[in-house]
A and B are shown apart, each in its own frame.
Chain A
Amino acid sequence: MMKRRDFLKNTAVIVAGASVSLSAVEWLDPKEILAANPQLRWGFLVNTHKCVGCGFCVKACKIENDIPLEANVTRTWVERYVIKKDGDVVMDSPKGALNGFTTKLVDQNHSGMTLVPEKEIAQAFFVPKLCNHCETPACVQVCPVGATYQAADGVVLVDRTWCIGCGYCIMGCPYGVRFFHPVEHVADKCTFCYHRISNGGNSACAQACPFGARQIGNLRDPDDPVAQALMNERVGVLRDEYGTKPQVFYIGLNKEVR
């Protein structure tokens, strides 16, 4: 015959023990496991040694994706970095490099144009940028209505019929890739040319690049050149301190790249 006190004590011990062990068991959803390791996960490789700053990628992207050429927003752009021997860095991206870089004068916006004398230049290079289609995208997390989302293959898209245009995703992106579409009046950004890659094609920017500085591929396919580059070469990513896990990988990054 158990006394009431003992019964209560035993019950408390059993419940406490069970809750500790049960909390260690993760309730697994098969669909989520599959989503975590699908056969297809789009990723991108940028080689900053090969980029010459011609800007054909920017123009092709705008024409392919109906972003007006006369609007100062762009789904992708190229930045120029000029690093001087004294350590100073001068950077620009005139119209996102829509017309390429055709002058030595660096565009400093309100502060005018700067010419860096040749003998002061230590190194100079171009860095193309686009949406990183992050694994844990901060922009998707902050959308209040579920208009922007991550598809199962990793591509982050915006539902144009549902976006309310609050701009929270634009503020939430650490990489500055988002903007308001000037005609559609909703949030917009690079889609990895989802309409092309999902139908066996190449993204417009990678196709337009004459020098092979841009490549799109499937990170889950071991024979894919992009997946192989990740395995065999020293690649970096932009601003990983935000924890968004970007999926655009760079060869030839420099500590000065913003």
Chain B
Amino acid sequence: MKNHVWRPLFVVIAMVIGILLFRAVYVPSDFGAQERGYTFGYHRLSNEQEWKEYPAKYKATEYCNECHDDKVEEVASAHHAMIPCENCHGAAFGHPDNPEKLAIDRSRELCIRCHAKLTMPTSDRNDIPGIDPAQHNQGDECSECHNPHNPSLEDM
């Protein structure tokens, strides 16, 4: 065998070395198999912290209670006690700094999520008082007659 037959192999080896050198620079140093092993845990470790620092939008009713305790109490003593404030008022984000005021969703579409009467035996949906949206005061906002914070039918 003459020596020239090895030349293509040298070219390939040079290429591989080039790729490995590039890899050493390109791939982040914390990339590797972490606690869960190679099959399920092969990743860039710092990504976990990045996800933990993702900005949250919702705050929860306890936060609203800090300033709006009267409203929270009003809701808590009526049928809609279990509904979080932000479901109808939108996510708090940076409220009261930004946004200063939270919008109120007064649309029918919001209310009929629960109160459109459906036939759902074996589901708790069946226990919710409901109406047929096509028949019941079509086009009107529900809050024109029903107080969302205290939706008692007697106190309308």
By a beta-carbon cutoff of 8 Å, the part of chain A in contact with chain B is 31-32, 34-35, 38, 48-56, 60, 63-65, 99-104, 118, 121-126, 136-137, 140-141, 146-152, 157, 159, 161-162, 191, 194-196, 198-199, 201-202, 204, 207-208, 210-212
| CB of B4 within 8 Å of the partner chain | no
Check A201/B60 contact, CB under 8 A, given A100-B114, A157-B51, A159-B47.
yes
Are B116 and A149 in touch, CB under 8 angstroms? no
| CB of B145 within 8 Å of the partner chain | no
State the total of A-B contacts with C-beta under 8 angstroms: 159
Are A54 and B86 in touch, CB under 8 angstroms? no
| In the complex, chain A residues whose CB is within 8 Å of the CB of B55 | 195
Tell me what chain A mostly uses at the interface: helix, strand, loop, or mixed. loop
With the chains together, A121 CA to B31 CA distance in Å? 54
| In the complex, chain B residues whose CB is within 8 Å of the CB of A56 | 87, 113
Are A123 and B121 in touch, CB under 8 angstroms? yes
| CB of B83 within 8 Å of the partner chain | yes
By a beta-carbon cutoff of 8 Å, the part of chain B in contact with chain A is 31, 34-37, 39-44, 47-48, 51-58, 60, 82-84, 86-87, 90-91, 109, 112-114, 116, 118-125, 128, 133
Partner of B41 from the list A150, A161, A195 (CB cut-off 8 Å) is A150
Closest to A104 in B: B118
Since A35-B41, A124-B120, A149-B41 are in contact, a sample of 5 more A-B pairs with Cβ atoms closer than 8 Å, ordered by chain A residue number, is A35-B37, A121-B119, A136-B40, A151-B41, A162-B43
Cβ distance B141 to chain A, nearest Cβ, rounded Å: 15
Are A149 and B58 in touch, CB under 8 angstroms? no
With the chains together, A248 CA to B56 CA distance in Å? 23
Closest to B52 in A: A198
Are A51 and B123 in touch, CB under 8 angstroms? yes
Cβ distance A87 to chain B, nearest Cβ, rounded Å: 16
| In the complex, chain A residues whose CB is within 8 Å of the CB of B44 | 146, 159, 161-162
Q: Chain B CB within 10 Å — which of A63, A122, A151 has the most?
A: A151
Partner of A124 from the list B48, B84, B114, B121 (CB cut-off 8 Å) is B121
With the chains together, A151 CA to B36 CA distance in Å? 7
Ranked nearest first, the 8 interchain pairs of A and B with the lowest CB-CB distance are: A100-B113, A149-B43, A195-B54, A35-B35, A146-B42, A152-B35, A52-B125, A54-B113
Closest to B36 in A: A150
| In the complex, chain B residues whose CB is within 8 Å of the CB of A35 | 35-37, 41
Are B87 and A210 in touch, CB under 8 angstroms? yes
Partner of B91 from the list A64, A100, A159, A195 (CB cut-off 8 Å) is A64
Are B43 and A159 in touch, CB under 8 angstroms? yes
With the chains together, A34 CA to B34 CA distance in Å? 12
| In the complex, chain A residues whose CB is within 8 Å of the CB of B54 | 65, 194-195
Are B109 and A149 in touch, CB under 8 angstroms? no
Are B114 and A54 in touch, CB under 8 angstroms? yes
Partner of A102 from the list B82, B113, B120 (CB cut-off 8 Å) is B113
